[in-house]
Amino acid sequence: MKKLVGTVLAAMMLAISHVYAGADPVSPEKMRAVYEAVKTPRKVGMVLAPEKGEMLDNPMVFRHGDAWYMMFIRFDGKGYETHLAKSDDLLKWTRLGRIFSRGAKGQWDAAQADGWPSIVDTRWDGPNTLNRFQGKYWMMYLGGAADGYETDPLSTGVAWTDDPSALREWTRYEGNPVMRPSDPDARDFEKKTIYKHFTVEDPARSCGGRFVNFYNAKSPGTGREVIGMAVSDDLLHWRRVGNEPVIDNGDPARHVISGDPMVRRIGDIWVMFYFGFKWKPGVSGAFDTFACSYDLTHWTKWDGEPLVKPSEDFDRVHAHKPWVLKHNGIVYHWYCAVGNAGRGIALATSR
């Protein structure tokens, strides 16, 4: 019996040590090493420029078959819809067309349909493909019924397809929306609007579910935006985790933004790329930065130089909303650029 008790206690202590190790902040030395690994000082320029009467936003790049694809958002004055582009070299992109339209008149998503791929392969040196669940490729999307640019309130829907490279509509889940700012378990920081999601598969279920979802949301009052977390076992039913956001910056009483998270894994460290606005001294406009974690729950924020920030004519107003990957030894960082060419998709690289 003593031997059994000793074994159980040892196992408990090991589990506790793992929890505390995960909760530890990432050291300044490791944060600097991550920055050196992901930084993209060379701005290539605009790779998808807007045409008259439109704005382009939210680049999301993945590999499928023998080509690269970019999901992005097109705003036409009424609201968002989701489009697809294709590339052979990650530099030159050809628009293919719309893959996710606004919902029917009278539906909760009749004016907005901003989709992004779920369950991306997050390995830093991985293939940059999309993973399947139950034989399908998945999308979470921002939806709303009111016309305009991100008009509140916005909620979250789910859709799927058997081929993310095909130029056809994704199938909506009949139970949409799956998350609303009016949900009974919605926290104070998400009771105005819920924005963009990034979904990580976590077979260890370290956060309480197979899938972990990071998203930015807006609170009433100041309109402050922060990043929260939810979990799911089936991508359809989501449970909020914790009472507070996992990423928050700046003065709590001001309208500042930490938004549009996307996650990669470098060694034993999870890296969350996201954008900031109105909280970093010396930076005008929105910019991209990152945070690191060992356990997907406790995040150490980088406080050094932004990964991209306004600096050129084409992004002199904003340089934000990151999508970052590594391919053949080069880091590619797509972002939404706002400047003299309007709102479009730009690229920065490590070399």
Buried-state track 60-78, b at ≥16 Cβ within 10 A, e below 16: bbbbbeeebbbbbbbbeee
Residue 330 lies in a domain: yes
Show the domain range for 98: 28-349
pLDDT of residue 250: 95
* Structural domain includes residue 14: no
Residue 222 lies in a domain: yes
CA separation, residue 123 to residues 39, 70, 134, 289, 301 (Å): 17, 18, 21, 19, 20
| Paired tokens of 71 | 């999901």
Q: Cβ(275)–Cβ(283) under 8 Å?
A: no
Evaluated on CA atoms 187, 190, 270, 125, the torsion sign reads positive
- Pick out the chain residues at pLDDT < 50: 1-21
pLDDT (0 to 100) of residue 5: 40
Residue 280 has what pLDDT? 97
Within-domain flag for 6: no
pLDDT digits 0-9 by tens, 54-85: 999 999 999 999 999 999 999 999 999 999 99
Indicate whether 342 belongs to any domain.
Answer: yes
Output the domain CATH number for residue 73. 2.115.10.20
pTM for the whole thing?
A: 0.93
The full DSSP string for 2-27 is HHHHHHHHHHHHHHHHHHHHHHSPPP
User: Is residue 123 included in any domain, yes or no?
Assistant: yes
Tell me if 140 is assigned to some domain: yes
Q: How many domains does the chain have?
A: 1
d(CA 219, CA 189): 4
Give whole-number Cα distances, 21 to 9, 214, 254, 290, 319, in Å. 18, 22, 33, 20, 35
Instruction: Determine the pLDDT at residue 11.
Output: 39
Q: What is the pLDDT of residue 295?
A: 96
In a domain, 292, yes or no: yes
